Amino acid sequence: MNPETPQQSKPDVRGVTTRWLLLGVCGAGMRAFAEILLDAGQNVTGTDIDERGMRSLHDHYGQRCQLLPWTEDLDLSSVLPANVVHSLAVSPMNPLLVRAREMGVAVRPLPEALGSFLQNARQICVAGTHGKTTTSGMIWWVLQQAGLAPAGFVGGEICGSHQSGSFGAGRLAVLESCEYRQSFLQLNPQSVLLTGIEPDHFDCFARDEAADQTFETFLRRIPRDGSLVINASSPRAQKAALAAHCSVQTFGRTPDSDWAADPIFNGNPGQLLRCDNTPAQIFGVRHHGRGVAKVSLRIPGQHNLENALAAFAGLSAEGLPPDLIVQHLATFPGMCRRFEYRGRWRGVDLIDDYAHHPSAIRATCDTARAVFPGRRIIGVFEPHQISRLENLFTEFALALSAFDECLILPVLPAREIATQAECYRLSGNLVRRISEAGGRTFLVANLDQVPGKLDHSARPGDVVITMGAGRTYQIHDEIHRRLQRDSAA
């Protein structure tokens, strides 16, 4: 790959512009796919039951994308789609999908549609339990800044860009690749970066062995002239890598990793409050024991050091020179909802994070302790999925007990059927377990009650971190509305 290669005009992968109807367009993956289609000049209509999300998309897309209110009586003849794509949250037996098939319209789930639309691109895939979004975002950012016009499919927005997908020149693609329901088996990776494998997606993988077999099948799809970069500290990733037919390299903090990191400067208290390029951390990169680069990052956290090291290894495997990688990693602004600073409220610093797994919660708390030393850290957590909470109950309790105080919301039963009482009961059990371990924690009935609870419990100098894969980011929107009302008064 030559970073000096001039950008080419965008090839139309379909030959002609076609009409697309996206069902569940507000989901992270569907939104990224919509942006890919729009950037490729396609005609896109989207619909979703999430009215709040639809308003946000309308503000972002304007007239570029037709957005329709969700109704199962939608007149498909008025849209005349050539393709209907649905998120995995939409049942294949949804009446809209049934009618589309009866009309002879091609109906596909998102993973299949994505793989098909980008089938002619050289695919760089980032997979694993943690760090996929940030690591794929880093790689996509560096390749963009290097002028290579990559397509991108990322499960979150790069801060300041409002962008999670693009078609670019259509010849190179950076794809966040998820194992859920074997989604990534629809892709054709030239190279894969595997951040690690831990227990997750219990509604899909009842046993670790089932998930491991899915990863092994995915890695076997890499051609012999491709590349695989894996986390040296993940035994399950190392075992899965045995299935690959290509070259394999490791990254990690251990000296025997092919790619290793040496922290030089770690933790700049208050850096998140600045708007300049002050580094949050600096580390050296060694390849086979030899120092090759010194990387500065604007985002804090040991986990982000590892994400950046992984991105460095992956980009090196693609042929980018070290100085170019260093130059552009230094300007990477981070991902929305990944330790994202959301402002200050009554002397309290506000952070939003997507953490919804015990390992990610621990990393978020550790990062907060480093960035805000000596400060009281309050966590606000909405468990995501009953099956995840039940299977990792002890791990969640231990991770959340590291906060000085925790507000726990009822579990969000994503893709699950549960009564409100059951969701309350499970989160109540979590509160009791944390309290029994000596933690200070409270059950909060719903999102609307959180700002009021914080009014009484948060003090100037505290740090509040909202966490979850669901709706906790909305808490910040409500706090900002309160600030606006206070200012107006």
Residue 242 has a pLDDT of: 98
Residue 393 has pLDDT above 60, yes or no: yes
pLDDT band at 8 (very low <50, low <70, confident <90, very high): very low
pLDDT band at 322 (very low <50, low <70, confident <90, very high): very high
Q: What is the mean pLDDT of residues 295-322?
A: 96
Q: Report percent pLDDT > 90 for the chain.
A: 78
Residues linked to residue 247 through DSSP beta bridges, in sequence order: 227
349-360 core/surface letters (b: 16 or more CB in 10 A; e: else): bbbbbbbbbbbb
Q: What DSSP character marks residue 105?
A: -
Distances in Å between the Cα of 415 and the Cα atoms of 89, 278, 384, 387 are 7, 41, 10, 10
Distances in Å between the Cα of 307 and the Cα atoms of 12, 21, 31, 214 are 33, 35, 24, 23
CA 209-179-337 angle, to 5 degrees, is 125
pLDDT band at 2 (very low <50, low <70, confident <90, very high): low
pLDDT band at 58 (very low <50, low <70, confident <90, very high): confident
Residue 277 has pLDDT above 70, yes or no: no
What is the C-alpha to C-alpha distance for residues 303 and 280, in angstroms, rounded to an integer? 13
The residue that leads in pLDDT, 253 or 331, is: 331
What is the C-alpha to C-alpha distance for residues 134 and 353, in angstroms, rounded to an integer? 12
pLDDT band at 76 (very low <50, low <70, confident <90, very high): confident
Q: Strand (E) positions, 202-258?
A: 227-231, 247-252
Mean of all residue pLDDT scores within the chain: 91
Residue 465: count of CB within 10 angstroms of its CB? 26
The pair of structure tokens assigned to 349 is 């610093």
pLDDT band at 10 (very low <50, low <70, confident <90, very high): very low
Q: What is the mean pLDDT of residues 257-279?
A: 74
127-147 core/surface letters (b: 16 or more CB in 10 A; e: else): bbbbbbbbbbbbbbbbbbebe
At residue 310, φ and ψ (nearest 5 deg) are -60, -45
pLDDT in tens, 352-370: 999 999 999 999 999 999 9
Residue at 269: amino acid letter: P
What is the C-alpha to C-alpha distance for residues 453 and 443, in angstroms, rounded to an integer? 10
The pair of structure tokens assigned to 35 is 């942006």
Residue 75 has pLDDT above 90, yes or no: no
Residue at 205: amino acid letter: F
Q: What is the mean pLDDT of residues 185-197?
A: 98
pLDDT in tens, 404-459: 999 999 999 988 899 999 999 999 999 999 999 899 999 999 999 999 999 999 99
pLDDT band at 482 (very low <50, low <70, confident <90, very high): confident
Residue 383 has pLDDT above 80, yes or no: yes
The residue that leads in pLDDT, 431 or 54, is: 431
How close are the terminal C-alpha atoms of the chain, in Å? Answer: 58
Measured in whole angstroms, the distance separating CA 53 from the mean position of its chain's CA atoms is 17
Going from the N-terminus, what domains does the chain have, and what CATH number goes with each? 19-113 (3.40.50.720), 118-329 (3.40.1190.10), 340-488 (3.90.190.20)
pLDDT band at 60 (very low <50, low <70, confident <90, very high): confident
Residue 71 has a pLDDT of: 87
Residue position matching structure tokens 């070290």: 322
Residue 5 has a pLDDT of: 42
pLDDT band at 11 (very low <50, low <70, confident <90, very high): very low
Residue 299 has pLDDT above 50, yes or no: yes
Name the maximum alpha-carbon separation found in the chain: 66
Residue 484 has a pLDDT of: 65
What is the C-alpha to C-alpha distance for residues 323 and 320, in angstroms, rounded to an integer? 9
Residue 355 has a pLDDT of: 97
Residue 199 has pLDDT above 60, yes or no: yes
Residue position matching structure tokens 């999102």: 447
pLDDT in tens, 103-117: 999 999 999 999 999
pTM to 2 decimals?
0.94
pLDDT band at 42 (very low <50, low <70, confident <90, very high): very high
The pair of structure tokens assigned to 428 is 């109540």
Residue 254 has a pLDDT of: 84
What is the C-alpha to C-alpha distance for residues 4 and 13, in angstroms, rounded to an integer? 24
pLDDT band at 6 (very low <50, low <70, confident <90, very high): very low
Q: Report percent pLDDT > 70 for the chain.
A: 93
